[in-house]
Amino acid sequence: MPEIKKRVENVRNARASSSREATRKLAAFPTLFGEIRQPNSDFILIPRVSSENRKYIPMGFFDKNYIVGDTCLSIPNATIFHFGILNSEMHMTWVKYTCGRLKSDYR
């Protein structure tokens, strides 16, 4: 599989030429993720961007067997209390006035 071999070599070279020591050490393992940020526990999943037209930002509880994609954020070890605060009108008021935007959507 020449294309895959080429891709792995590109990762090895990119890591080896990094100015960060930890990244240079990872050049020895070009087929593995450099950093694993997947929660080891159940977590609340929150989208990075949500429509300003929603009354609440859609979020939910997930177990550690679900992978958090790059379009989402996670809160590991969260409880129903945290979930309640994040789904409250008080939190949405805070989001409306202080959070960043992507176009006009909440970020």
Is residue 81 domain-shared with residue 100, that is, in the same domain?
yes
Is residue 56 domain-shared with residue 91, that is, in the same domain?
yes
Is residue 102 domain-shared with residue 50, that is, in the same domain?
yes
Contact status, residue 86 vs residue 46, Cβ threshold 8 Å = yes
Contacts for 101 with CB less than 8 Å, ≥ 6 apart:
107
pLDDT tens for 42-97 read: 999 999 999 999 999 999 999 999 999 889 999 999 999 999 999 999 999 999 99
Is residue 80 domain-shared with residue 30, that is, in the same domain?
no
The pTM assigned to this predicted structure is 0.68
Burial 43-60 (b: 16+ CB within 10 A, else e): bbbbbeebeeeeeebebe
Report the distance separating Cα 89 and Cα 49, nearest Å. 18
Is residue 83 domain-shared with residue 55, that is, in the same domain?
yes
Q: Six-digit token pair at 9?
A: 């070599």
